């Protein structure tokens, strides 16, 4: 074991010869040390790290996973999985995010940098023990110390590098469905948004836009003159976001297939032939994204669609999902033949059933193909969790070659720590279930801790049918998530706001308009979090350390100023909340109508009508609010409403930039610093403008401890 020190508070323990994942961007200095802090090690066939948790310890992290914000009580398996049924017992979803924080008697973070299978048993087998099992003994273990979970997260974000920033328009509302199958339907949807006056910035193209599900092709029949169509839609205010899948269809004459085979860009089987699996188009090869050359080759192909005016993509099925292989089908048929005419008992019948059920995404298949890493063949199974990450890295690297300073929208389904430098993620195939709104709420801070700030769920739910109330309540939560996309599966009820009854449509519309009004705050908080290596969504215990706050799982901090308490139960017209301090409540309905009330610290029951979104402004904090428009580009930025809950003073730093380029990385952005201080019966206001040329007026609404509102206008 070698030990390295990174900064003052991070130690990296290197076991064996780990596969380079590129998750961490900071190297350390070697030091002399022969024992591991905090953990006991058990070494058998696998390596096990053991830690005895104190009764009140909380374990945060693990990004995309089931269960609570506090991960205690569960067992989680990091193995990127194409599993559309996110039921509570599931141990693997699409991402592998091996970072946890222990917060209690001792405070430290742990990151297992290993691209194969890792199991986190957090008090499942034995309630007091954290057991981390790493199947392969070549890995890096990082231990990060800090005084608080926030400090630990920040140190972690610092070593995994600066997060992805999408273009500003990608903070607008986005409408998706599997599928809007042709240009006519896409335009009809766009026109309905316009007719209904509902803001929307993007419409997604699911697999049916392609010719026979072939990546980087467009069906001539369904989308004739694609380039002109993209332009036309942009003129109407909508960007089109096509899907790209991991598998490349095997077909003579299909350029990507032929080139890939010829140049050896695909993963190979044990005979050295391109590995064959089946996904949407039938038989496919998988590009070897772990190989640099293949990655560069595939990344450049995005240019075909970028040349048509496309500015965003979603990378899918990149765990990679395998519907079947010949091996799986043959084995199942063999079993079926053996069973023919027999009197099957409990074991043989269920065995037969499982044989068919396990045809898809079978471990045997993942073990039967290889990546070519600098001339050496590496079995896919050992590096499985890096596949989606590197597909998405390939796209990002392609974008940087095509248009080096332009921001593209990019989201991926599968991910690994470090991918957050290249793209955001959506949380995959959820259901139109109330339970999945709650899961979405709990997952957001965990994803943030692992670096994935630009993320969100399929609002309204992917599988199953949503009713109006579920769509309304989910939308009311999603207006706070940086990625705000409504998506639904084939065969389910349509989920656009206007697909529901008049009342639901109108409430969703008001919520979406409010989202556009909140963009100045959301974007400012998002960007400050990226630049300062901080998070956007946090559990309330990250700021309030009382015993109740430490247990709250369904209220979140959004940026530095807000706390939210979403509704996630059907027929509910209110809920219990815990207020760790007095806060200012705005039950937002229509964003131009603002009524405030002070809610005092304590356990409260809050009435929340179907059209209300409770937004709490924390003590001495500020919310900035802009105007809505039908697209982000059309927002009129001249005036900013500044709502302050100022017991004695409050301040806010408003961040903005061009929203399109990567210039912010060179420090090219503007700031307006607003300081409010109470003076007897009035307030002293200090405003410093550092380079903002858009905003001309600040309209202040300052609320004091008694609820008195003082209004002021400041020209800048
Ligand atoms: C996968 C994706 C889903 C998409 C569907 C068809 O299930 O997760 O979002 O709509 O494939 O492409």
Instruction: Name 41's bridge partners.
Output: 49
Q: Which atom of ligand 1 is found nearest the CA of 84?
A: 7
Which mean pLDDT values do the consecutive 10-residue runs of the chain (716 residues) have? 96 98 97 96 96 98 98 98 97 98 98 98 98 96 98 98 98 98 98 98 98 98 98 98 98 98 98 98 98 98 98 98 98 97 97 96 98 97 98 98 98 98 98 98 98 98 98 98 99 98 98 98 98 98 97 98 98 98 96 92 98 98 96 96 96 98 98 96 95 97 95 96
The candidate with the shortest Cα–Cα distance to 8, out of 26, 35, 21, 23, is 26
429 is catalytic: yes
Residue 93 CA to residue 563 CA, distance in Å, equals 28
Q: Is the CB of 279 under 6 A from ligand 1?
A: no
Position 135 scores a pLDDT of: 93
Instruction: Name 13's bridge partners.
Output: 3, 141
Q: Is the CB of 94 under 6 A from ligand 1?
A: no
Q: Which atom of ligand 1 is found nearest the CA of 179?
A: 10
Q: Is the CB of 206 under 6 A from ligand 1?
A: yes
Position 199 scores a pLDDT of: 98
The candidate with the shortest Cα–Cα distance to 289, out of 361, 207, 426, 385, is 385
Contact between 125 and 132 (Cβ < 8 Å): no
319 is catalytic: yes
Torsion region of 16: left, alpha or beta (phi above 0 gives left; psi -120 to 50 gives alpha): left
Distances (CA, A) of 238 to 179, 189, 633: 16, 10, 11
Q: Is the CB of 178 under 6 A from ligand 1?
A: yes
The candidate with the shortest Cα–Cα distance to 398, out of 412, 388, 408, is 408
Distances (CA, A) of 563 to 128, 546, 579: 32, 16, 9
Alpha-carbon Rg for the chain in angstroms? 26
Q: Is the CB of 626 under 6 A from ligand 1?
A: no
Whole-number Å distance, alpha carbon 156 to ligand 1 midpoint, is 31
The candidate with the shortest Cα–Cα distance to 199, out of 635, 496, 634, 629, is 629
End-to-end Cα separation, the chain, in angstroms: 59
Contact between 656 and 693 (Cβ < 8 Å): no
Q: Which of 425, 462, 486 to mutate to test the pocket of ligand 1 (most atoms within 8 A of CB)?
A: 462
Position 590 scores a pLDDT of: 81
Whole-number Å distance, alpha carbon 462 to ligand 1 midpoint, is 9
Indicate the pTM of the whole model: 0.98
The candidate with the shortest Cα–Cα distance to 3, out of 36, 42, 31, is 31
Q: Which atom of ligand 1 is found nearest the CA of 489?
A: 10
Give the total residue count for the chain. Answer: 716
Position 645 scores a pLDDT of: 98
Position 593 scores a pLDDT of: 84
Residue 329 CA to residue 641 CA, distance in Å, equals 62
Contact between 519 and 482 (Cβ < 8 Å): no
Which residues, in sequence order, are CB contacts of 681 under 8 Å at separation 6+?
none
Q: Is the CB of 428 under 6 A from ligand 1?
A: yes
Burial class (CB in 10 A: 0-12, 13-18, 19+), 684: exposed
Residue 461 CA to residue 85 CA, distance in Å, equals 12
Helix and strand numbers, DSSP H then E, in the chain: 14, 43
Q: Which atom of ligand 1 is found nearest the CA of 314?
A: 9
Whole-number Å distance, alpha carbon 318 to ligand 1 midpoint, is 11
Residue of 82, 121, 140, 319 marked catalytic: 319
Q: Which atom of ligand 1 is found nearest the CA of 243?
A: 12
Position 591 scores a pLDDT of: 78
Q: Is the CB of 316 under 6 A from ligand 1?
A: yes
Cis peptide leading into 179, omega within 30 of 0?
yes
Helix (H, G, I), strand (E, B) or coil at 258: helix
């Amino acid at each position: 074991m070698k030990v390295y020190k990174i900064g003052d508070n991070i130690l990296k323990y290197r076991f064996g010869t780990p596969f380079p994942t590129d998750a961490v961007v900071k190297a350390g200095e070697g030091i002399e040390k022969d024992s591991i802090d905090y953990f006991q090690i058990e070494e058998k066939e696998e390596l096990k790290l053991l830690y005895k948790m104190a009764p009140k310890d909380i374990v945060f992290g693990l990004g995309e996973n089931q269960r609570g914000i506090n991960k205690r009580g569960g067992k989680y398996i990091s193995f990127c999985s194409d599993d559309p049924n996110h039921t509570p017992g599931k141990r693997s979803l699409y991402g592998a995010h091996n970072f946890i924080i222990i917060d209690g008697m001792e405070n430290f973070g742990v990151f297992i940098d290993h691209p194969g299978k890792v199991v986190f048993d957090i008090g499942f087998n034995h309630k007091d023990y954290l057991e981390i099992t790493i199947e392969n003994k070549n890995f890096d273990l990082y231990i990060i110390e800090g005084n608080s979970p926030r400090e630990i997260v920040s140190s972690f974000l610092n070593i995994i590098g600066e997060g992805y920033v999408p273009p500003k328009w990608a903070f607008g509302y986005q409408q998706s469905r599997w599928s809007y199958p042709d240009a006519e339907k896409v335009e009809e949807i766009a026109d309905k948004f316009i007719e209904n006056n509902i803001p929307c910035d993007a419409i997604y193209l699911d697999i049916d836009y392609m010719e026979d599900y072939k990546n980087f092709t467009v069906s001539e029949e369904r989308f004739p003159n694609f380039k002109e169509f993209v332009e036309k839609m942009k003129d109407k205010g909508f960007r089109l976001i096509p899907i790209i899948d991991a598998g490349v269809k095997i077909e003579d004459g299909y350029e990507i297939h032929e080139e890939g085979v010829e140049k050896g860009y695909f993963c190979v089987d044990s005979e050295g032939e391109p590995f064959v699996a089946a996904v949407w188009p039938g038989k496919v090869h998988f590009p070897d994204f772990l190989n640099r050359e293949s990655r560069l080759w595939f990344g450049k192909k995005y240019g075909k669609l970028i040349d048509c005016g496309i500015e965003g993509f979603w990378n899918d099925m990149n765990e990679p999902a395998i519907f079947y292989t010949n091996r799986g089908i043959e084995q199942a048929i063999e079993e079926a033949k053996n069973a023919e005419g027999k009197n099957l008992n409990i074991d043989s019948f269920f065995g037969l059933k499982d044989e068919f059920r396990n045809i898809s995404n079978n471990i045997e298949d993942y073990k039967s193909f290889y990546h070519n890493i600098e001339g050496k063949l590496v079995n896919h199974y050992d590096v499985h969790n890096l596949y989606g990450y590197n597909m998405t890295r390939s796209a990002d690297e392609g974008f940087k070659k095509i248009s080096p300073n332009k921001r593209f929208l990019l989201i991926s389904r599968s991910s690994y720590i470090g991918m957050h430098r290249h793209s955001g993620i959506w949380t995959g195939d959820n259901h139109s279930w109330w339970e999945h709104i709650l899961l979405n709420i709990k997952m957001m801070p965990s994803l943030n801790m692992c670096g994935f700030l630009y993320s969100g769920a399929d609002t309204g739910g992917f599988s199953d049918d949503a009713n109006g109330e579920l769509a309304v309540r989910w939308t009311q939560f999603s207006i706070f998530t940086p990625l705000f996309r409504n998506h639904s599966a084939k065969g389910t009820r349509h989920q656009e706001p206007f697909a529901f009854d008049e009342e639901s449509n109108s409430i969703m519309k008001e919520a979406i308009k409010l989202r556009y009004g909140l963009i100045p705050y959301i974007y400012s908080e998002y960007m400050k979090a990226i630049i300062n290596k901080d998070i956007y969504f946090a559990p309330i215990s990250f700021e309030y350390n009382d015993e109740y706050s430490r247990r709250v799982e369904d209220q979140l901090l959004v940026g530095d100023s807000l706390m939210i308490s979403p509704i996630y139960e059907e027929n509910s017209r209110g809920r219990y909340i815990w207020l760790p301090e007095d806060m200012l409540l705005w039950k937002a309905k229509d964003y131009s109508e603002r009524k405030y009330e002070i809610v005092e610290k304590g356990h409260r029951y809050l009435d929340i009508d179907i059209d209300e979104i409770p937004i709490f402004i924390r003590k001495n904090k500020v919310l900035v609010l802009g105007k809505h428009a039908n697209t982000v580009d059309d927002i009129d930025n001249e005036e900013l409403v500044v709502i302050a809950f100022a017991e004695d003073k409050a301040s806010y730093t408003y961040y903005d930039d061009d929203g399109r380029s990567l210039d912010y990385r060179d420090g090219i952005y503007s700031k307006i610093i607003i300081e409010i201080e109470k003076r007897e019966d009035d307030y002293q206001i200090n405003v410093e403008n550092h380079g903002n040329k858009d905003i001309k007026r600040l309209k202040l609404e300052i609320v004091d401890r008694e609820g008195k509102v003082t209004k002021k206008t400041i020209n800048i």
